[in-house]
Amino acid sequence: MKKLLNDPQDAVSESLEGFGQAHADLVEVHVAPPYVSRSGGAVPGKVGLVSGGGSGHEPLHAGFVGLGMLDAAVPGAVFTSPTPDQIVPAILGADSGAGVLAIVKNYTGDVLNFETAVELVEAEGTQVTSILVNDDVAVEDSLYTAGRRGVAGTVAVEKIAGAAAERGDDLGAVTEIAGRVVANVRSMGVALTACTVPHVGKPSFDLGDDEVEIGIGIHGEPGRHRIPMAPADEITQRLVDPVADDLGLSGGEDVLLFVNGMGGTPLSELYVVYRQARRLLEGRGVRVTRSLVGNYVTSLEMQGASVTVLRLDDELTALWDAPVHTAALRW
């Protein structure tokens, strides 16, 4: 294992320290317990947005703290849920009196720990709603979850709900919009190589040099099936078709097409995937009106990609286009 680390046990804390120093204009990094909040604290009168999960998926979630997205992010250890004692101060710090929406990816640890934290802060008088992101069409159940996993579609939920909160929507409206995104977004990924968790020191699964894993999760979970390495267009079709079928896309609809890198794949290859994914969607009569390509929800150094499609309407499009200024996403 070769990684630019000191002690693997300090990987998350040292990374957070550097992140906070590099983006001090946008975020504040809290140490005990660790969480990241928007610089300047809660915005008066605005609904707060809080998310979190295991580290190793950077820039998710800390990279999306800032104007137009999250007010706080709670990082756990690598591929491990944050604990309630981390989540509670993050929620309380994000509350300006308008309530807080917790955006939770569907993994058993995240769900249980966020539920516990929400109960604790509600007992102190903070109004909190939660939304569960479960966009992965690859599996119904995995090592980490009951039901579908939450993966790259989380970026769309955080961006669009964040824009709704920024424009002044109340907690009920922000929660409803987040739910609309969850209902209309689907993802599927592929791994060319496994990743290595620093404190484990070996790949999370075995994959031959001539094999790829279709339908992997962002924690290195095995996928739907393993196939021989194939041209990019063929692999892309194996991702796009299940996503489009599950969404029930029909001709004339508008979508956001998001090709996400898993951490170790060059941007040039992600654009090869995007090219074919767009061609396949347009072949169904679907209009790709918004796009995003890059490493936004990673799995450490895994080579691979995921394809996410979000069905758009006029309001969701406007909220996607609304200004955002975070470490990882800005326009």
The answer to whether the CB of 258 falls within 8 A of the CB of 156 is yes
CA distance 212 to 225: 9
CA distance 248 to 246: 5
**Angle at the Cα of 92 (from 102 to 116), degrees rounded to 5?**
55
CA distance 20 to 36: 8
CA distance 223 to 210: 16
The answer to whether the CB of 190 falls within 8 A of the CB of 315 is no
Catalytic-residue membership of 57: yes
CA distance 87 to 80: 13
Backbone angles phi, psi at 31, to 5 degrees: -100, -45
Q: Which of 54, 304, 17 is nearest to 198 (CA)?
A: 54
Catalytic-residue membership of 199: no
| Catalytic member of 23, 30, 61, 219 | 219
Q: Which of 207, 201, 239, 243 is nearest to 222 (CA)?
A: 207
One-letter amino acid at 329 equals L
Please report the DSSP string for 57-115 in residue order: STTTTGGGBEETSBSEEEEEEETSPPPHHHHHHHHHHH-SSS-EEEEEES-HHHHHHHH
Strands 35-38 and 27-30: antiparallel
Q: Give burial (CB, 10 Å; 0-12/13-18/19+) of 212.
A: buried
| Catalytic member of 57, 61, 225, 325 | 57
The answer to whether the CB of 17 falls within 8 A of the CB of 70 is no
Residues with active-site annotation: 57, 219
